[in-house]
């Protein structure tokens, strides 16, 4: 059975709830969930969203391709999809659910190999990227892309991961 878990972090009396849904067996081999919590915490702090809940679904290319086609009309897998919660959910007035992030093991692995970077480093980068999307950042316009990339680099640097936009081959 695949793991589903929830981690609640307390920061300055604020609650951050992170739900990990592991839907692909290869994700169970990854021993980086503590680091993932840390980068999420830093990213949410940077976005001033310390009283938040997010769900991260760790999946595969098959599901990502299906969802990418459905929601973006792109018939191929992608490394990350972010679904910000833009509507007030009527499930709990205290809910601060800001959205869901889906990450594909297959794409993360192939990109890490292709770019000659560590899988965990790339995973952390993609998690940060997804969290920033949930916080309202995007990379459609060049200036917005630059802002988002700078936040990504800042957060990665905070945990000792190199700039992902520099080639290390």
Cα gap 127→43, rounded to integer Å: 9
Q: How far apart are CA 111 and CA 158, in angstroms?
A: 23
- Rounded to an integer, the average pLDDT of 134-159 is 90
Which domains does the chain possess? 4-158 (3.40.390.30)
Q: Write the CB contacts of 78 (distance below 8 Å, at least 6 apart in sequence).
A: 64, 68, 72, 104, 107
Instruction: Give, in order, the Cα–Cα distances in Å from 91 to each of 5, 49, 95, 136.
Output: 20, 20, 8, 22
pLDDT of residue 108 exceeding 60: yes
Q: Are 125 and 117 spatial neighbours (Cβ–Cβ below 8 Å)? A: no
Q: What is the pLDDT of residues 32-77, one digit of tens each?
A: 888 888 899 899 988 888 788 899 999 999 999 999 999 999 999 9
Q: Which residues contact 1 (CB under 8 A, 6 or more apart)?
A: none
The CA-atom distances, in angstroms, between 55 and each of 17, 100, 117, 118, 144 are: 8, 5, 26, 24, 24
Mean pLDDT of 141-169: 85
pLDDT for 87: 65
User: Which runs of consecutive H residues, i.e. helices, occur in the chain?
Assistant: 33-46, 61-72, 105-115, 119-134, 142-158
Mean pLDDT in residue range 137-163? 89
pLDDT at 89 over 80: no
Look at residues 24, 50, 5, 42 and name the one whose alpha carbon lies nearest to residue 159: 42
Q: Residue 132's pLDDT band (boundaries 50, 70, 90)?
A: very high
pTM: 0.85
């Amino acid at each position: 059975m695949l793991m589903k878990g929830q981690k609640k972090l307390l920061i300055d009396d604020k609650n951050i709830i992170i739900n990990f849904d592991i839907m692909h067996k290869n994700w169970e081999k990854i021993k980086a969930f503590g680091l993932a919590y840390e980068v999420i915490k830093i990213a949410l702090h940077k976005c001033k969203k310390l009283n938040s809940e997010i769900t991260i679904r760790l999946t595969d290319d098959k599901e990502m391709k299906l969802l990418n086609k459905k929601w973006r009309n792109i018939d191929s897998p992608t490394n990350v999809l972010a679904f910000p919660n833009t509507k007030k959910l009527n499930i709990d007035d205290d809910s601060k659910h800001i959205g869901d992030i889906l990450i594909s093991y297959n794409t993360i692995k192939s990109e890490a190999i292709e770019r000659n970077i560590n899988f965990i480093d790339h995973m952390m980068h993609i998690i940060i990227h997804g969290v920033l999307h949930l916080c309202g950042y995007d990379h459609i316009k060049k200036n917005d892309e630059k802002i988002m990339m700078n936040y990504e680099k800042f957060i990665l640097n905070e945990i000792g991961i190199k700039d992902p936009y520099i080639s290390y081959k």
